[in-house]
Structure 1
Amino acid sequence: MIDYDGLWPDTTPYLAPEVLAGIAADAARADREGRISERGLTLLRESNWPGLAVPEKFGGQGAGLLLCCATQRELAAADPGLAIALNMHLFSIGLMVEHWRRRADVSWLLMEAIATQGRLLASAFAEPDLGGSVSRSTLRARRDGASWVVSGRKAPCSLAGVADLVCLQAQTEEADPRVLVALLPMSAPGLRVERTWDALGMRGSASDTVLLEDCAIPDELVFYQARAGAEDDDVLTAGVVWFALTVTAAYLGVAQAARTAAAELLRRGRISHLGARRADLPSYQAAVGQASADLLALEAGCAGLAARMDAGADPATLIEPALAVKERAAVAVPAAVAALVESCGGMAYGANGALSRLWRDAQAIRFHPPTGPAVRQYLGRRALGVPARLDLDEAAPWLIERTAAERNG
């Protein structure tokens, strides 16, 4: 793994080299079998990783966003599927921390339980037909006494089959609906997991389906709520920044692992009629150099924004650059890994090789919400000075109404 002095903090106190080595040793098997690495989960629980982002006063390790990104980068270099699954735990904890800092309510009790008991948290925010929205839900929550009753389907949901708790959102059935975000035990009545994950890459992420059938969520487990579709909420904004940067860092770990693997193959591979190793030839050096330039620019952007967040910057000022870094990574990371594979030639294309596995894993970056179409629309509208939301809005009725009003004076 390549480290850049001045960009990333030392992660050794949080991810010991022997822990990373143990995780890496199980990554190929987890990918082959399409199951999350139980050995990796055990090693991380023993290292108190579940409490990484929980404040120290609540029994956690108190890591800020920059350190969380750095650990995700290292973890993904060892086992991408495990890292991307655990990124959802990390994002949910980050959302809880940001909520607690702004609301100072009893949500700290949930964080303390996670940190002190080593609980793993699945994030059930993705839904079929949601279109990548981060502020809505297709699940409807109806009131029943002191609880909300929810039915619906969450997929894909990383860690679904191995987590202790699930963080999910649902939308109330009101004239002015709200989105509720709650924590629920995976053993809750009406909740079950269906093993459905069989994808091209990130096969070891346990991203299965969570089914809810008249599942009751008590009020005390709802730790955040906002108007559906609202994107001016400070907690939601902070959560988007957390997710955009931690998920980018994870895929940067995938790309850096691919560069390390490619460098080894290029040092071994030869061009016989030139009597030289591929690594010694300017054409191959340039290909690796271009991939390195693209990745290093992303590394700097991701680390710099995470450091700004830790320094207390208003998340509203960081959401555009954070989404831009994530969107650029969705293009540059798969392209860089593909260029590295191509440079190594056919020896990198073997089904059991590390590079081919990393190439498959890199493709998944395109599908994390908010997805490309919504992000590009949002950034374009912000740049043009027109109203913008992260909900994909092709019809733009508000724009039609505003234009008509302007024409009528």
Structure 2
Amino acid sequence: MTPVAALAERTSTTEIPSPTQIPSPAQIAAKLGPDFAARASEADAGDIFVAENFKALKDAGLVDAGVPADLGGGGAGITELCAMLREIAHHCSATALSFAMHTHQVAIPAWRWSRQQAAPVAPLLKRVAAEKLVLLSSGGSDWVAGSGKAEKVEGGYRISARKVFTSASPIGDLLMTGAVWEEAPDGPAVLHFAVPMKSPQVKLLDTWRAMGMRGTGSHDVLIDGHVVPEEGVALKRKQGEWHPLFHIISMIAFPLIYAAYLGVAEAARDRAVAMAAKRRMSDHVVALIGRMDTELCAAQLAHAEMVRVAETATPGAATTNETMICRALVARHAIAAVELALEAAGGAGFYREAGLERLFRDIQGARFHPMQQGPQADYAGRVALGLDVSTVF
């Protein structure tokens, strides 16, 4: 058994359940997968959001899979949710990544509820379970620095912002976002809040024309004058430096996001092996397959460590450093594995109908999530040298 197969066997949760077992999220996703796969090429070719797949995820109970059971949800933990997203990615990259953005917005308050007894998160989690809400993340806009403008008005804040890379925006219910209050008493502060996508002051801009992950519906969202009431502000923090919440976000969100990319690499590997088996065999092709499996195994091992950290560690600078090192390794080795998959498949892999070139384009998105290569290396170096990392992000 190859290292890749052995690790997949250890981490697989997609076995067929017995009649008395409750199926896991990954097992449910496996049943939905063939329909997702059938729609993947069309979504990619036409920049079409995978709306039907999200409806299927809702109907199957996966939208609230990460909500704690005592709040009405499925009670799935990080390990189970990562397995679910990997399984979805085996069939449709765009569905997996856009659903990961919702899933991590559920998993973060779920972690705070279970580990910190954070009562303020309960109403949101209950609504996700009861109303099957889809939560949106604008991570491209709302990393540590924040973006947009919050202006103090009577009873709240008027928001003006343009949020980019808002995956699943055509079907989202609440945008979990923030804006910068420049005139805060102690200096510029970032306010965190939810914005209903049905607000008259919220407009979806048709901007998502991208190299890969074309079906994610990651359009820009324009917020032009929406007023967030004072009681709707979940957090106020100093702009431009790490806050404890962001260490939680790093620990919980990135194993989920990169589970999608790992699944893309696994799907590419399987396609490449099937295609290479039809080629005239040579030592060169055999070596390409071996190098591909080696790169993929490295990505799997790094991701398994991310999951372990999320399940067992305490959030903080050291944990964020370990998570981000692993995030860099997953990205590096997953991208390398897919590059080798395309080469191993030969010229046939260059045709769109083979599906490999789409996976090659989709995996490139792994480069662009925080923390990207430069800041991540700076952060890791500073941790190693005992230097301040509070403004490195």
Q: TM-score, normalised on structure 2?
A: 0.90
Distance 1:388 1:33 in 2: 43
Residue in 2 that maps onto 1:306: 307
1:8/1:301 Cα in 2 relative to 1: closer, same or farther (>3 Å)?
A: farther
Distance 1:222 1:95 in 2: 17
Q: 1:110 aligns with which of 110, 116, 124?
A: 124
Residue in 1 that maps onto 2:20: none
Q: Is the 8 A contact 1:122 1:166 kept in 2?
A: yes
1:223/1:37 Cα in 2 relative to 1: closer, same or farther (>3 Å)?
A: same
Q: Which segment is superposed worse, 144-153 or 90-99? A: 90-99
The alpha carbon displacement at 1:248 in A equals 1.7
The alpha carbon displacement at 1:283 in A equals 2.8
Distance 2:146 2:309 in 1: 30
The 5 Å alignment of 1:138-149 reads 138-149=147-158
Q: Does 1:91 align with 2:104?
A: yes
Q: Give the aligned residue type for 1:104.
A: A
Q: Is the 8 A contact 2:25 2:81 kept in 1?
A: no
The 5 Å alignment of 1:114-263 reads 114-127=128-141, 134-173=143-182, 174=184, 175-233=186-244, 235-263=245-273
Q: CA-to-partner distance for each residue in 1:231-250, whole Å, 9 max, x for gaps?
A: 251x2201112222112211
The alpha carbon displacement at 1:216 in A equals 0.9
1:82/1:323 Cα in 2 relative to 1: closer, same or farther (>3 Å)?
A: same
The alpha carbon displacement at 1:43 in A equals 1.1
The alpha carbon displacement at 1:8 in A equals 4.5
Distance 1:390 1:374 in 2: 10
The 5 Å alignment of 1:9-408 reads 9-10=13-14, 12-15=23-26, 16=28, 17-100=30-113, 101-102=115-116, 104-127=118-141, 134-173=143-182, 174=184, 175-233=186-244, 235-270=245-280, 278=281, 281-311=282-312, 313-316=313-316, 317-389=318-390, 391=392
Distance 2:41 2:279 in 1: 23
Unaligned runs of 5+ in 1: 128-132, 271-277, 393-409
1:43/1:310 Cα in 2 relative to 1: closer, same or farther (>3 Å)?
A: same
Q: Is the 8 A contact 1:37 1:82 kept in 2?
A: yes
Q: Is the 8 A contact 2:237 2:243 kept in 1?
A: no
1:109/1:96 Cα in 2 relative to 1: closer, same or farther (>3 Å)?
A: same
Q: Is the 8 A contact 1:262 1:341 kept in 2?
A: yes
Q: Is the 8 A contact 1:158 1:208 kept in 2?
A: yes
Give % identity.
Answer: 26
Distance 1:322 1:97 in 2: 19
Q: CA-to-partner distance for each residue in 1:190-247, whole Å, 9 max, x for gaps?
A: 11101100111000000001001111112343333322233251x2201112222112
Q: Give the aligned residue type for 2:138.
A: A
The alpha carbon displacement at 1:362 in A equals 0.8
Q: CA-to-partner distance for each residue in 1:143-171, whole Å, 9 max, x for gaps?
A: 22332211011112111121111111212
Distance 2:74 2:295 in 1: 32
Question: Across the two proteins, how many residue pairs are aligned to each other?
Answer: 376
The alpha carbon displacement at 1:37 in A equals 1.6
Q: Give the aligned residue type for 1:161.
A: P
Distance 2:194 2:227 in 1: 11
SS at match of 1:113: helix
The alpha carbon displacement at 1:390 in A equals 5.8
Distance 1:135 1:145 in 2: 27
Q: Is the 8 A contact 2:25 2:80 kept in 1?
A: no
Q: CA-to-partner distance for each residue in 1:329-357, whole Å, 9 max, x for gaps?
A: 22222221111111111110013321011
SS at match of 1:340: helix
Distance 2:119 2:367 in 1: 36
Distance 2:124 2:266 in 1: 35
Distance 2:227 2:148 in 1: 13
Distance 1:47 1:294 in 2: 34
Distance 1:103 1:391 in 2: 29
Q: Is the 8 A contact 2:247 2:315 kept in 1?
A: yes
Q: Which segment is superposed worse, 1-10 or 104-113? A: 1-10
SS at match of 1:5: helix
The alpha carbon displacement at 1:103 in A equals 5.7
Q: Give the aligned residue type for 2:62.
A: W
Q: Is the 8 A contact 1:85 1:205 kept in 2?
A: yes
Q: Is the 8 A contact 2:164 2:219 kept in 1?
A: yes
Q: Is the 8 A contact 1:194 1:210 kept in 2?
A: yes
SS at match of 1:225: strand
Distance 1:358 1:13 in 2: 26
Q: Is the 8 A contact 1:94 1:239 kept in 2?
A: no
SS at match of 1:184: strand
SS at match of 1:304: helix
Distance 2:45 2:327 in 1: 28
Q: Give the aligned residue type for 1:166.
A: L
